[in-house]
Amino acid sequence: MKDDSALTLRIENATKSFAGVTVLNDVSFDLKKGEVHALLGENGAGKSTLIKILSGVHLPDRGKIILENREHVFNSPKDAFKNGIATVYQELLVFPELTVAENIFLGHTPKRHGFLIDWKKIKSDARKILDNLDSHDLDVDARVGSLSVANRQRVEIAKALSQKTKVLIMDEPTAALADTDVRRLITVVKRLKEQGVSILYVSHKMPEIFEIADKVSVLRDGNHVGTFDILDVTEDLLVSKMVGRSVDKLYPSSKGSHGTPILEVSDLSDGVRFSNASFILHRGEILGIAGVVGSGRSELAQTIFGINSSKSGSIKVDGRKVLIKKPRDARNLGIAYIPEDRGTQGLVKEMKISQNISMANLDREARGILILSQQEILNAMNAIKKIGIRARSAVQVVRQLSGGNQQKVVVAKWLQTEPRILVMDEPTRGIDVGAKAEIHALMRDLADQGMAILMISSELPEVLGMSDRVLVMNAGQIKAEFSKDQATPENVGAIMTEKVEEVA
Amino acid sequence: MRVLIRHESILLLVVIIALFTLSIQAEQFATIENLLNQGRFLTEVSLVALIMTFVIVTGGIDLSVGSILGLSAIILGVAWKKMGLPLPVAIGVALSVGTLAGLFNGIIITRFRVPPLIATLATLALYRGLAEGISQARSIRGYPDWFFILGQGELLGVPTQLWIVAFFTIFTGFILGYTTWGRATYAIGANEIAARFSGIAVNKTKLFIYSASGFAAALAGVIFVSRVSTTRSDMGMGLELDAITAVVLGGTSIFGGKGTIIGTVFGLLLIQTLKNGLSLAGVKSDGTYVAIGFVLILTLLISNLFNRSSEG
Amino acid sequence: MNNLLRKGNRGKFFSKFLANYGQEIVLLSSMIILFIVVSQVNPRFLGGNNLNTIFSGNAYIGVAAIGMSILIITGNIDVSVGALIGVLATICGTLAVSGYPIWIAWFAPVVVGMIVNSIVGFIVAYAGIPSIVVTLGMMSILRGGLISVTGGDWITDMPEEFFLAQQNFLGIRVPLLTLIFLTTIMFYLMSNTTWGRSLYAIGGNSEAARTSGIDLKRGVVLAFAIHGMFVGFATILFATQLNIIASTVPPNLELTVITASVIGGVSIMGGTGTVIGSTLATILFAAIGSSLIFIGVSAYWLRAIMGILILSTVLADMARRRRASL
């Protein structure tokens, strides 16, 4: 009855356009039973459109979805789900006020007498599914709002598996996860594969792909570039297929010389998330802070920038002790902070590019309180040219830009304030390979011109590739410092993750 | 921006149609005298609605303005008659109390993080209660004649208070449209966290706006007293809903981040045109509320329809 | 393993109960303390007549607040509820004096309330106009329409059997009984049916609700319709408690109803709250209002003191919530 090489899902000639722009053009590939199939492509390559077609959010203009030898037309997400295709989205779509068990069975709740919820069955079934995912520690009665990101994701996966699931689509499942949680997720994926579930796995992270995928399909500009057996390809080859050119070097090289100290932090504590942080940042240097989510690194950066207040310790800029009580104080000292979450912290997406770029510097550019709008647009046009933001015009609304270009707008906003110290929190999270390389090159350029850069990242290759020096944070403390030569994935990674306790 | 212009042009069209129809229907309608006189009735709600535009653009709301109007009116009367202060000083006291009431709203909202709807719902009851308690439900009359210039007099042939409204309109329009303060208002409404991370003083801006809202309500209260020659504690009841109607009719998004002063002005004009025109055409005053309700819903329906088709 | 789990769950039961029903517990204990203190000052406070006024005279607000809570949980609001009660009461009374059977007079407000609110819900859901705006317009229409139709006249001379709210059943006044009955039933339905849980899902995260296969738009229309039904029930109690039906309702009735929901623990952001909370809040505020009179506070200061109390409840609630989220 079971044929392990059986075809589960076939996509044939899927084509979709929005408002005359073709975002997916004639894409076909197969997904076999129990196969982990990675889907690669830059942002805008058509991955999310393809996922949305498979999960019933969009109808394709042309093309077929064939599930277990039968052609299907999915009119709604519910349709796809009923037929065994479940999706775990990047932005987790859970209900914070409902319990774990309720979230898992939402939309197909077991009932008694036709309309009463069968709580006993919900809870015991939820328990079974979670246990199967090695999540014995997750309480089925807990409110989902009180869970960590990793645990919420487990709830999402459990929800996806609460019905007879044949195909599980995972959209960048590790984008917001710390390394230990990534390990747990990979274990789960492998287990599902053993149980015969086919998995379509979308990710930017190469190491994961090489660890779990059997096949990999690459999309570029809506076209299917090819499907490869994972054993036949290298990372460089995949990257060049994605961007359509070869990326010679992943990280720009450092000149290796830096100047005098500009920022001196000593014994800084916020009383909650980090304590006794001390370090010195020099002109022309990129200082990396490696740490997992929750290690206190973002809180440290935000305290330096005046978003949070410090309990004790001191900050010196140019050798002089300073008091930073609000972001404006920091800016006036020449400190800029590019936040971790560009959607909520970095940008006002409804506003124009020009208005976003001027936002942190507007009081300086205005005459009194009067905004000089010609000047504002001119400044934006210059920044767009300088940083290479791909936009129709300076007055385009930011929401319409791709993730990478949005990130560049945030960078442009803060460069507009002419900072001397640039704090970058996860500068390339969730953006595609091409934009990532451009931002890395820009960072190196700025450092070479004398800018002092403090870069926070949970991506080890980025920290190691970019930094002149690496600090490692864990559980609110700076645990170690490495020079560029000493810093290896092994010793940095070990300190980043040692005895990390789950914070639920 | 294009979306806003579209909404405002639809609104302008509706205003023109209403003006046109009504001037055919009722001959007295299109006289200068009638139109200027209408301005008097428009004053209180206009002052409040202009600042309410800022409040709603930040994503907030201020339901307590009607109560602040009542409270300020009572304070004016009590300070003058009971405490024997000179009337100009009493006016100053009334305006200060109104501004402080607005500031208090702002503090509850920014410091204690109470959602604006709830905070001002609570102070709506509180301020009205204070007005009733202080006045002991007695009205105050007998103001000196010069005081009525504000609400009943004319300057260069135009009702005095219309000059105040005109100044307020231009001033608020300039602030919201062309200054860093206005930009901060929009940024806070569209994404408060990003505004804070960009160094915008979010709480200070909000405190200022809610205080201004209190001030505008108090000023409206003083003018109201001058117009009707008496002070009562129930003055301004329901004013908040009229003001919000005008602002929303003017295209300001109740979710914040979008809206203009010119839109609010059109909204106010339309409401007053309907009220006056319909009553001249023989519709009872209560019937005009029905019309306003329909116009509010229909305008937004049409405007949404247009926006949707331009996006699709 | 099961045994172990169950034991752990029981240990956590109390703290979980506190976390889930914190607001309800606070309201209930405030009410008990209030009754004890005020009855010491003035024993007549506990007199049958007064208790009747507190519980039954305000029951219609509580019933309307149930509907309002349902709406607010889905992330919507209705500011036209006061005006609607006025309109429905007039319809109800007019039918009764025009010689229609009493059951038709009682039934009409429920049906008309559902129709009116379904229209509102339809506009909110399918045209995407925020509910506060649509109901603001609806308030204008209903209020203006009511006065222009009735001309401000009162309705009197309803038949004897009409006055449902003046009846007793099992020795308890009908309005209080109705309030308790409707609260219990809605509490049960909202926590134990898929419809009830989907309300929380719509208000909590509408994007997620959609991808989970919940029909958002239909859900919103249904919530409005059910709210309309409760406004209808509230109207029956309101219209049949006095011998006249005025063409006006108490001023700011909509704000009183919204306040009851919100103080009862329904988050104005949507997604949380129970109807038990809103019912307790209605009764508590009625009791406070009455107790102020009984301890001799001047009637002119009543509203100011109520305002201070509402404000302190809101601030206390914010403090509690912030602690809970830490």
DSSP labels for A35-67?
Answer: -EEEEE--TTSSHHHHHHHHTTSS--SEEEEEE
CB A347 within 8 A of CB A410: yes
d(CA B290, CA C145): 6
- Mean residue pLDDT of chain B comes to 86
Please tell me the pTM assigned to this model.
Answer: 0.80
Phi, psi torsion values for A201, nearest 5 degrees? -115, 110
Q: Shortest CA distance to A161 belongs to which of A105, A98, A244? A: A105
Q: With 90 as the cut, is the pLDDT of residue B232 above it?
A: no
Residue B121 Cα, gap to closest chain C Cα (Å):
7
Flag whether pLDDT at C178 surpasses 80.
Answer: yes
Report if residue B171 sits inside a domain.
Answer: yes
Residues of A in contact with C193 (CB under 8 A): 115-117
Has residue C21 been placed in a domain? no
Containing A455, the helix (H) or strand (E) segment is strand A452-457
Contacts of residue A343 in chain C, CB cutoff 8 Å? none
Tokens describing residue C74: 């889905």
Residue C86: give its domain's CATH number: 1.10.3470
Contact map slice: B 272-311 vs C, CB within 8 A:
284, 286-294, 296-297, 300-301, 304-305, 308
Number of C-beta neighbours around residue C29 at 10 A: 10
Return the bridge partners of A338, or none.
A424
Q: pLDDT tier at C325 (50, 70, 90 boundaries)?
A: low
By C-alpha distance, the chain A residue nearest C204 is A95
Residues 6+ apart with CB under 8 A from B181: A369, B175, B205
The single-letter code of the amino acid at A99 is: T
Distances (CA, A) of A415 to A164, B197, B228, C75, C141: 52, 14, 57, 40, 53
Inside any domain, residue B149: yes
Greatest distance between any 2 Cα atoms in chain B: 65
Q: Which domain holds residue B298?
A: 2-23+44-306
Q: Cα(A288)–Cα(A462) distance, rounded to whole angstroms?
A: 9
The residue ranking higher by pLDDT, C272 or A205, is: A205
Q: Which residues of B touch C148 (CB under 8 A)?
A: 284, 286-287, 290
pLDDT, one tens digit per residue, over C100-119 is: 888 888 899 999 999 999 99
Pairing of strands A277-282, A261-269: antiparallel
Is C115 strand, coil or helix? helix
Q: Would you state the structure tokens that stand for residue A371, as one six-digit string?
A: 């905004």
C271 to chain A, minimum CA–CA distance in Å?
A: 6
List helix spans (H) across A419-488.
433-448, 460-466
pLDDT at position A82 is: 83
**What range does the domain containing C306 cover?**
50-318
Chain C contact for A171 (CB, 8 A cutoff):
no
The residue among C73, C195, C205 whose CA lies nearest residue A107 is C195
Nearest residue to B70 via CA among B126, B124, B128: B128
For the domain that residue B198 is a member of, what is the CATH number? Answer: 1.10.3470
pLDDT of residue C5: 41
Concatenated DSSP letters of C150-192:
HTT--B----GGG-GGG-EETTEEHHHHHHHHHHHHHHHHHHH
* Cα-based torsion angle of the residue sequence A124, A128, A130, A133 in order, rounded to the nearest 10 degrees: 180
Ranges of H-type helices in chain C:
2-41, 48-57, 59-73, 81-97, 102-127, 131-150, 174-192, 194-204, 206-211, 216-239, 253-263, 275-294, 302-325
In contact, C132 and C74? CB cutoff 8 Å: no
CATH of domain A252-334+420-504: 3.40.50.300
The verdict on residue B39 lying in a domain is: no
Whether the CB of B31 is below 8 Å from some CB of chain A: the reply is no
Residue C32 domain-assigned? Answer: no
Chain C contacts to A (CB-CB under 8 A): 9, 16, 192-195, 197-198, 200-201, 204-205, 207-214, 271-272
The answer to whether residues C273 and C69 touch, using CB atoms and an 8 Å cutoff, is yes
CA distances from A457 to A273, A424, A492, B55 (A): 17, 9, 12, 38
What is the structure's pLDDT at C208? 66
Residue B312 in domain:
no
Contact A369 B180 (CB under 8 A): yes
CA distances from B18 to A221, B37, B260, B261, B287 (A): 52, 18, 22, 21, 16
Rounded Cα distance, A218 and A227, in Å? 6
Geometric angle at alpha carbon A356, from A351 and A357, rounded to 5°:
150
User: β-pairing, A335-338 with C168-169?
Assistant: unpaired
- For C187-207, letters b (16+ CB in 10 Å) and e give bebbebbbebbbbbbbbbbbe
Count of pairs with CB atoms under 8 A, one residue in B, one in C: 144
Amino acid B241 reads: L
pLDDT per residue as tens, chain A (504 positions): 344 456 788 888 888 877 666 778 888 888 888 899 999 887 667 888 888 888 888 888 888 888 888 888 888 888 888 888 888 887 667 777 778 888 888 777 777 776 777 888 888 888 888 888 878 888 888 888 778 778 888 888 888 888 888 899 988 888 777 777 888 888 888 888 888 889 999 887 788 888 889 999 998 878 888 899 988 888 878 877 877 655 445 677 776 667 899 999 999 999 888 999 999 999 999 999 998 777 889 999 999 999 998 999 999 999 999 999 999 999 999 999 999 888 889 999 889 999 999 999 999 988 888 999 899 999 999 999 999 898 889 999 998 888 889 999 999 999 999 999 999 999 988 777 778 888 999 999 999 999 999 999 877 888 888 999 999 998 888 999 998 888 887 788 788 877 644 443
pLDDT interval class at B86 (50, 70, 90): very high
> Is pLDDT of B256 > 80?
yes
How far is the C-alpha of A282 from the C-alpha of A304, rounded, in Å?
A: 16
Within-domain flag for B152 = yes
Please check whether residue C318 touches B, CB under 8 A.
Answer: yes
One-letter amino acid for residue C279 of the chain: T
Q: Is residue B308 very low, low, confident or very high in pLDDT (cuts 50, 70, 90)? A: low
How confident is the prediction for chain C on average, in pLDDT? 81
Instruction: Kindly tell me if the per-residue pLDDT of B200 is higher than 80.
Output: yes
pLDDT given at position C228: 96
d(CA A31, CA A50): 14
Tell me which DSSP letter residue C271 carries. S
Kindly determine whether residue B296 and residue C322, on different chains, have CB atoms separated by under 8 Å: no
Going from N- to C-terminal start, the domains of chain A cover 1-84+164-248, 92-162, 252-334+420-504, 344-418
Cβ(C284)–Cβ(C128) under 8 Å? no
Q: What sign results for the dihedral spanned by CA atoms A228, A232, A237, A238?
A: positive
How many angstroms separate the CA atoms of A108 and B66, rounded? 48
Could you identify the residue written with the tokens 């135009």? B158
Interface test with A, best of C10, C18, C197, C206 (most A CBs within 10 A): C197
Q: Report the candidate in B191, B168, B187, B189 with the shortest Cα–Cα distance to residue B179.
A: B187
Residues 288 to 317 of C: which have CB under 8 A from any B CB?
A: 298, 300-308, 310-311, 314-315
Of A307, A348, A373, the CB nearest to B187: A348
| Cβ proximity of B255 and C130 under 8 Å | yes
d(CA C124, CA C75): 11
- Chain B nearest-CA distance from A378, in A, is 17
**Residue type at A232?**
D
pLDDT for position B307: 61
C29 Cα to chain A: minimum distance (Å):
25
On the question of pLDDT at C9 being above 60, the answer is no
The DSSP H or E segment spanning B156 is: none
Q: Which one is the CATH code of A1-84+164-248: 1.10.3720.10, 3.40.1640.10, 3.40.50.300, 3.30.420.10? A: 3.40.50.300
A142 touches chain C (CB under 8 A): no
Contacting chains of A (3 CB pairs or more, <8 Å) are B, C
Query: At which residue do the structure tokens 């990396």 appear?
Result: A288
Asked whether this chain's domains A1-84+164-248 and A252-334+420-504 adopt the same fold, the reply is yes
CB B47 within 8 A of CB B227: no
Tell me phi and psi for residue C214, to 5 degrees.
-85, 130
DSSP conformational letter for B82: I
CA distance C310 to chain B (A): 6
Structural domain count, chain C:
1
Between the two ends of chain B, the Cα-to-Cα distance in Å is 17
Calculate the CA C140 to chain-centre distance: 21
Residue C140: pLDDT over 60: yes
